[in-house]
């Protein structure tokens, strides 16, 4: 009897899997008329990715989601690199192409999964703790903060010097809510911190309805000083700590501890990337166009029916939400312990530099700008340790850094107002063309 | 135009001043559904101000605006857009940092039905909604023959093309009333001919009612069904092109000193 059950279950399981694969087949066939011969190797690819991730100690569900994501990425890549170039070709060509693909995918599945899973799967295992703690995590969090400010300033055209204030609100709200609502899941507390920051952002964004440009800067500056003062003055926000210091709770998600440097990196990445995807969708949607319209010419925007008030306030809300989440990550996954002064005006400036260097109105630019801001001090200190040792007194390093930043900001504003993102695009366009020059 | 049906747009006793300086004084006229009405008059006569009153950029101190059966003391820009009024500006008011396609898509913003949350997650109506808006924008692009510049930032386009893109953004809204402030200013003869052709087609193909400001009297005579003449903020002529042209006040005030 037990043998029968075993066979029955095994058979059912196999059947379920075959039918899933078959559904994939039919879906592609019905939608595009292509008989996808690479289906089998894609199944293999997914399985290999999943098992490899499991073997490296990832929890089941995380490995599962990551495998799905990597398949999605693979499919997008195939579409971009291969299928797109075959549009409108006869079906037989497509069929042969999928046959060819099946060999490629199968042959390099082992190597490819490692490449694709680079960000998620590989880096945590090859990188050392210094990389995560001092480079990758702050890079991701600052990219996210840059994204928040970029939506408001780069896309909707509203200047702000209050970025750090909204980060602080997010961090302290996440922290406080963890105590007020025991058992609140960690990820949810990040979202809740973002929501509180969004509400505060809307309040400080209200003046934007009447004032513009530099006068608006003053209002956001008020937010910056007010929030810092409030969080330092009232110990309630930090659960009674006299100097307002908060310490992150254990980083548990669904029972799994993400407290190690690699874990904190993964946790940060899995919060930051989805937010980037959502923001990318938004700026290409009608809200994103409304933001840019208000930025470029608000009278014309009003005349074509864009609700100026709503559009601006949404920019403040969504921007502050993202900054709030970035603040929570800064406190929880990057520093672990933070005080209100960690979110002072110079932090706001740092975020502003990210978008000036990276590029206003660019999603990619936030990564480029953040990478620059994080790497420059490190590169400088390495340089001064080796090349310039003895030449440069230790205390001068910080000054040198300031000078370089200042000069770069000015250079960029003059020479390349669209930032690194534009340089990158130009470089890519040239790279695409270069074989044709011969 | 038949006078028995109520006019689409009717202005009565509109007066507008800026800190005591009168720009428009006690002006009233009707625009019938489906007609092309030209507003003419020397520089500073108050033509642009009047268009701004019609679509709510300026609020007149006195008067009443009746559009599509609804009378108002003054319009608000958003109200006017919702009611179906679109316009272009004398000094091009495009969104300089955006592509031609995106500029034209902004003209569809009122037609967008999905919420920003749906757009962020690409859920629900978002995808179909975006497709629908893009389809209309592409129709406009094809109609105005802007295909070659679809993805060009409008700031990089020559002046004549920018004027065309601005018309496209207005057309994308599928307006009932289209206000054009000097759509042919600064254009060469060929560009003017093209633009007149577009305006006539919009009027005939889509039945859009048009109020336009134009200095070139030849173009005005050829294009319009109805001419209103302003001078120093007052109306000095109103009627069919040929009749208006013959009025002595008009000859003295405007045609005598027309720009060359
Ligand atoms: N925003 C404004 N502020 C002050 N004065 C204005 C404004 N807009 C128009 N005017 C004045 O109103 C008068 C009519 O201008 P306008 O409507 O632009 O004339 P037109 O378009 O016929 O050349 C002019 O004297 C002009 O200076
Ligand atoms: Mg004018």
Which of these three, A338, A370, A402, is where a domain ends? A370
Given an 8 Å threshold on Cβ–Cβ distance, is B110 in contact with A305?
A: yes
User: In this structure, are A363 and A391 located in the same domain?
Assistant: no
pTM for the structure as a whole: 0.79
pLDDT in tens, A112-142: 555 544 555 445 445 577 778 888 899 999 9
Closest protein CA for atom 21 of ligand 1? B48
Given an 8 Å threshold on Cβ–Cβ distance, is B94 in contact with A300?
A: yes
pLDDT in tens, A30-39: 676 666 767 7
- Among A356-365, B123-132, B203-212, B214-223, the range of highest mean pLDDT: B203-212
User: In this structure, are A292 and A433 located in the same domain?
Assistant: no
Residue for token pair 């092309």: B36
User: In this structure, are A185 and A298 located in the same domain?
Assistant: yes
- State yes or no: pLDDT of B146 exceeds 50: yes
Please report whether residue A14 resides in a domain: no
Which tokens is A329 given?
């990550």
Closest protein CA for atom 24 of ligand 1? B44
User: In this structure, are A197 and A314 located in the same domain?
Assistant: yes
Residue for token pair 């809307």: A202
Please report whether residue A2 resides in a domain: no
Sequence-separated contacts (24+) of A131-135 with Cβ below 8 Å: A132/A261, A132/A262, A132/A264, A132/A265, A133/A261, A133/A264, A133/A334, A134/A378, A135/A374, A135/A375, A135/A378
* 8 A C-beta contact, residue A50 and residue A67: yes
Which of these three, A312, A339, A370, is where a domain ends? A370
pLDDT in tens, A264-276: 998 999 999 999 9
Choice among A163-167, A243-247, A400-404, B161-165 with the minimum mean pLDDT? A400-404
User: In this structure, are A149 and A211 located in the same domain?
Assistant: yes
pLDDT in tens, A302-358: 999 999 999 999 999 999 999 999 999 999 999 988 889 999 998 998 999 899 888
Residues of A in contact with B169 (CB under 8 A): 304
Q: What is the mean pLDDT of residues A282-300?
A: 94
Which of B14, B16, B21, B44, when mutated, tests ligand 1's pocket best, judged by the most ligand atoms within 8 Å of its CB? B44
Please report whether residue A68 resides in a domain: yes
Please report whether residue A266 resides in a domain: yes
The full set of domains in chain B, from first to last, is 1-84+219-260 (3.40.50.300)
User: In this structure, are A201 and A268 located in the same domain?
Assistant: yes
User: In this structure, are A187 and A259 located in the same domain?
Assistant: yes
Q: Is B27 in the pocket of ligand 1 (CB under 6 A)?
A: no
Which of these three, A126, A153, A170, is where a domain ends? A126
User: In this structure, are A209 and A106 located in the same domain?
Assistant: no
Number of domains in chain A: 3
pLDDT at A49: 80
User: In this structure, are A174 and A262 located in the same domain?
Assistant: yes
Q: How far is the CA of B60 from the centre of ligand 1 (A)?
A: 13
Q: What is the mean pLDDT of residues A92-110?
A: 65
Please report whether residue A391 resides in a domain: yes
ipTM summary value: 0.91
The beta-carbon neighbor of A304 closest among B102, B107, B114 is B107
Please report whether residue A15 resides in a domain: no
User: How many Cβ atoms sit within 10 Å of the Cβ of residue B222?
Assistant: 11
User: In this structure, are A357 and A418 located in the same domain?
Assistant: no
Please report whether residue A170 resides in a domain: yes
User: Which H or E run includes B87?
Assistant: strand B85-88
Q: Is B44 in the pocket of ligand 1 (CB under 6 A)?
A: yes
Q: What is the mean pLDDT of residues A204-224?
A: 83
Q: Is B45 in the pocket of ligand 1 (CB under 6 A)?
A: yes
User: In this structure, are A268 and A202 located in the same domain?
Assistant: yes
User: In this structure, are A151 and A115 located in the same domain?
Assistant: no
pLDDT band at A428 (very low <50, low <70, confident <90, very high): low
Please report whether residue A12 resides in a domain: no
Ligand nearest to the CA of B50: 1
Ligand nearest to the CA of B182: 2
Q: How far is the CA of B86 from the centre of ligand 1 (A)?
A: 20
Q: How far is the CA of A375 from the centre of ligand 2 (A)?
A: 54
User: Which H or E run includes A293?
Assistant: helix A286-296
Quote the domain boundaries for residue A260: 133-370
pLDDT in tens, B4-61: 678 999 999 999 999 989 999 999 999 999 999 999 999 999 999 999 999 999 999 9
Closest protein CA for atom 27 of ligand 1? B44
Better-predicted residue by pLDDT, A86 or B127: B127
Closest protein CA for atom 3 of ligand 1? B18
The rounded mean pLDDT for chain B is: 91
pLDDT at B61: 95
Separation of alpha carbons B220 and B138, rounded Å: 30
- State yes or no: pLDDT of A111 exceeds 60: no
């Amino acid at each position: 009897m037990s043998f029968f059950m075993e066979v029955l279950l095994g058979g059912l399981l196999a059947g379920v899997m075959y039918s899933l694969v078959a559904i994939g087949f039919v879906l592609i066939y019905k939608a595009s008329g292509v008989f996808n011969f690479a289906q089998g190797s894609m199944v293999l690819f997914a399985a290999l990715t999943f098992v490899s991730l499991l073997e490296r100690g990832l929890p089941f569900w995380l490995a599962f989601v990551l495998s799905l994501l990597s398949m999605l990425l693979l499919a997008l890549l195939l579409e971009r690199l291969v299928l797109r170039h075959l549009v409108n070709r006869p079906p037989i060509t497509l069929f042969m192409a999928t046959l060819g693909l099946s060999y490629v995918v199968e042959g390099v599945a082992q190597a490819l999964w490692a490449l694709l899973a680079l960000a998620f799967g590989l880096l945590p295992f090859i990188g050392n703790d210094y990389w995560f703690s001092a480079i990758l995590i702050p890079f991701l969090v600052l990219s996210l903060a840059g994204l928040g400010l970029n939506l408001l300033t780069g896309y909707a055209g509203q200047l702000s010097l209050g970025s750090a204030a909204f980060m602080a609100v997010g961090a302290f709200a996440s922290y406080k809510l963890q105590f007020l609502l025991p058992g609140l899941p960690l990820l949810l507390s990040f979202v809740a911190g973002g929501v509180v920051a969004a509400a505060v952002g809307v309040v400080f964004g209200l003046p934007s309805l009447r004032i513009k440009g530099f006068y608006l800067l003053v209002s956001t500056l008020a937010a910056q000083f007010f929030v810092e003062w409030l969080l330092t003055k009232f110990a309630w926000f930090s659960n009674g700590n006299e100097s307002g210091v908060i310490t992150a709770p254990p980083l548990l998600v669904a029972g799994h501890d993400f407290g190690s440097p690699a874990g904190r990196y993964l946790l940060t990445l899995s919060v930051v990337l989805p937010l980037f995807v959502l923001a990318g969708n938004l700026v290409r949607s009608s809200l994103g166009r409304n933001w840019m319209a208000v930025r470029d010419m608000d009278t014309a925007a009003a005349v074509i029916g864009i609700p100026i008030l709503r559009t601006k306030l949404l920019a403040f809300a969504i921007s502050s939400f993202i900054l709030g989440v970035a603040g929570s990550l800064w406190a929880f996954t990057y520093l672990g312990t933070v005080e209100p002064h960690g979110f002072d005006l110079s932090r706001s400036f740092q975020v502003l530099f990210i978008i000036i260097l990276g590029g206003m109105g660019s999603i990619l630019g936030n990564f480029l700008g953040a990478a620059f801001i994080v790497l420059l001090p490190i590169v400088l200190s390495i340089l001064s340790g080796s090349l310039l040792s003895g030449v440069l007194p230790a205390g001068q390093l910080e000054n040198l850094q300031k000078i370089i930043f200042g000069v770069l900001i000015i250079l960029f504003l003059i020479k390349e107002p669209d930032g690194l993102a534009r340089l990158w695009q130009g470089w890519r366009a040239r790279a695409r063309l270069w074989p044709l020059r011969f | 135009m038949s006078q028995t049906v109520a006019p689409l747009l009717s202005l009565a006793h509109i007066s507008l001043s800026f800190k005591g300086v009168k720009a428009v004084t006690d002006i009233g006229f009707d625009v019938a559904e489906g007609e092309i009405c030209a507003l003419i008059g020397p520089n500073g006569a108050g033509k642009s101000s009047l268009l701004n009153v019609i679509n709510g950029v300026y609020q007149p101190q006195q008067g009443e605006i009746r559009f599509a059966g609804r009378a108002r003391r003054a319009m608000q820009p958003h109200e006017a857009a919702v009611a179906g009024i679109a316009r272009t500006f004398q000094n091009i008011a495009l969104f300089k940092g955006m592509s031609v396609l995106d500029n034209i898509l902004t003209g569809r913003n009122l037609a967008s039905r999905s919420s920003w949350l749906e757009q962020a997650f690409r859920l629900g109506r978002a995808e179909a909604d975006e497709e629908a808006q893009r389809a209309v924008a592409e129709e406009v692009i094809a109609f105005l023959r802007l295909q070659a510049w679809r993805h060009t930032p409008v700031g990089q386009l020559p002046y004549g093309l920018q004027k065309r893109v601005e018309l496209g953004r207005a057309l994308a809204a599928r307006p009932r009333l289209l206000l054009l402030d000097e759509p042919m200013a600064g254009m060469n003869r060929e560009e003017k001919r093209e633009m007149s052709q577009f305006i006539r087609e919009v009027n005939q193909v889509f039945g859009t009612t048009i109020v336009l400001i134009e200095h070139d009297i030849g173009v005005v005579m050829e294009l319009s069904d109805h001419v209103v003449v302003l001078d120093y903020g007052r109306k000095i002529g109103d009627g069919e092109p040929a009749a208006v042209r013959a009025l002595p006040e008009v000859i003295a005030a405007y045609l005598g000193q027309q720009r060359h």
